[in-house]
Chain A
Amino acid sequence: MAAHPGSNGSKAKAAKLRVFRGTAAGGDFQNYEVETYPGMVVLDAIHDIQAKQSPDLAVRWNCKAGRCGSCSAEVNGKPRLMCMTRMSAYPEGEPITVTPMRAFPIIKDLVTDVSWNFEMAKKIPPFKPRPRDADGNWRMQQIDIDRIQEFRKCIECFLCQNVCHVVRDHQKKEVFSGPRFLIHLATLDMHPLDTLDRREMVKRDFGVGFCNITKCCTEVCPEHITITDNGIIPLKERIADDHYDPVRWLLRKVAGKPRAHKVPAQPTEAGKTADISGRHRVDGGNGKGELER
């Protein structure tokens, strides 16, 4: 083995890996041995296998810096980013098991088909800000966005989607959006400038009631976003305001006010949303869509 930049010159140690190899039709574990070096991560080991032993081993990766979220897999049964998982974190001599994300269909080896997530993303009516101020700007204060800044750290690795038992074990993909998109909905619902009311959709179409707050999504998040406590539970409380609070219901009846606090969202085809004025917004795929005027 060639000296690695991070090597201290000491004798290289070997690590054993059990890597899932296969397709949707079925698969097996394959055992490998790789030489380790200080600072080595699991993705390095997979690349080593790919380079020297199994050139056909399929693995999805991009930045190798914990930013792109593409190398999500399960290491010793725990959902992890392979590029952020050090080999030294595991006991020497014991095989390290690497498997693809279980909640999604396998394409090949460690690569899964995560397209369901993107389909779900398209269903969420995008950000629709109120009109600009007289000077042409939108203004908001830091205290207004404290809460949602945390959610913007999401790198869409989909580890939370993978570990959520509603998606993973109960396969409720038709009626439940999963934690990543509940966080996205919370971001929009708490945004000080947003004007669309997505609450009815959060309950009806995105299935927030299916979440039973077991917090696995929070446990696996590589960005340490407090998904459940800061995102999903506030969303559940907002749904409780509208649907499960007889006091508020009575006050609404007495005051004669409608339940919706914003303009109701009206989902149309994927990628487009119409508000009640009939304007459409097109999402260009960068999450920062423009209003069509």
Chain B
Amino acid sequence: MANKVVHLPVLDFGATLRKDNWWIGPAITFVILMGFICYATFRAFENDYYRVGPYLSPFYSPLIPTAGWGIPFLSPAMLILPGPAGFRLTCYYYRKAYYRAFAMDPPACAVGEGGRHDNYNGETKLLIFQNLHRFALYVALGFLVILWHDVYKALWFRDPYGTEASFGVGVGTLVLALNTALLTGYTFSCHSLRHLIGGSVDSYSTAPFGQLRHALWRGVSRLNQNHMFFAWTSLFAVALADLYVRMVSLRVIQDVRIL
């Protein structure tokens, strides 16, 4: 038996006895979310290249005519993005992601925070707005209707003269449809939706429409198990859909008609 003696580490910031690379997860989250925020901000200020053929970027949908409002730098995206951004900001999954990656509160499980958070209040004071997630959900559901309408419009291609529209499917149609499908998955797997449609019921067997509400709750619960998957894939998809429209609009790439 050896007797080398070392002191138990104090829980300074980042101190841990974990031997895995616990910092990789928060670091990747930070890079991806910061990248998305930077790209979305750039696109909101760019105010161009958001529409080509039957395709409309999700960042600019619905297309609000802000040009005549006389406000410098105001773009439709600036009015639209706070809606989905609020939904993601208050999302129960993203809280885990950004509390760890940005606030480092905690940086990871069983990793020390040091004395940085003496005045920790969780979501009781400054962050109390997180409790309003269900209202952001209502907004997000409204956006889904608009985005599915955009997908429908992306199925109708006008002739070169712009007179007649014919049914068709382009790569852009599929990109927009994929984006909207993933956003639908993300929205319909929401914890607040799960609560609103049936989670608030204590006794399904005796509540009005109890059987139906239980069935709906169970369906959303199944989706809810994949909420993290939908959260990330829909984030990538919405950026990709916007980027695709921008690239086609700039003629960097050409949209290919499949049908």
A binds B: yes
**Would you give the 0/1 interface string for B7-40, flagging 1 where the beta carbon is closer than 8 Å to chain A?**
1100100001111000000000000000000000
**Which listed residue, B3, B19, B96, B211, touches A77 by the CB 8 Å rule?**
B19
Residues of A near B166 (CB, < 8 A) are none
When C-beta atoms are compared, the residue in chain A nearest to B204 turns out to be A143
- Count: A-B pairs, CB below 8 Å: 155
* Complex-state Cα separation, A2 to B203, whole angstroms: 58
Q: Is the CB of B2 closer than 8 A to any CB of chain A?
A: yes
Residues of A near B214 (CB, < 8 A) are 143
**Would you give the 0/1 interface string for A19-63, flagging 1 where the beta carbon is closer than 8 Å to chain B?**
010100001111111000000000000000000010000000000
Q: Is the CB of A140 within 8 A of B205?
A: yes
Q: Is the CB of B128 within 8 A of A209?
A: yes
**Which listed residue, A33, A170, A216, A245, touches B109 by the CB 8 Å rule?**
A216
Residues of B near A229 (CB, < 8 A) are 92, 191, 224, 227
When C-beta atoms are compared, the residue in chain B nearest to A189 turns out to be B202
DSSP class of B's interface residues: helix, strand, loop or mixed?
A: loop
Interface size of A in residues (CB-CB distance below 8 Å):
62
Q: Is the CB of B251 closer than 8 A to any CB of chain A?
A: no
Known contacts A141-B204, A239-B131; A29/B195 CB under 8 A: no
Q: Is the CB of A131 closer than 8 A to any CB of chain B?
A: no
18 contacts between A and B (CB under 8 A): A74-B17, A76-B17, A78-B110, A143-B205, A144-B203, A168-B110, A170-B117, A192-B202, A207-B122, A207-B124, A209-B124, A209-B131, A214-B95, A214-B99, A214-B109, A233-B191, A236-B131, A238-B200
Q: Which A residues are closer than 8 A to B by beta carbons?
A: 18, 20, 22, 27-33, 53, 74, 76-79, 94, 97, 99, 102, 140-141, 143-144, 146, 163, 165-166, 168-170, 172, 176, 189-192, 194, 207, 209-216, 219-220, 228-229, 233-234, 236-241, 243-245
Closest 4 CB pairs of A and B: A77-B17, A77-B18, A210-B122, A216-B109
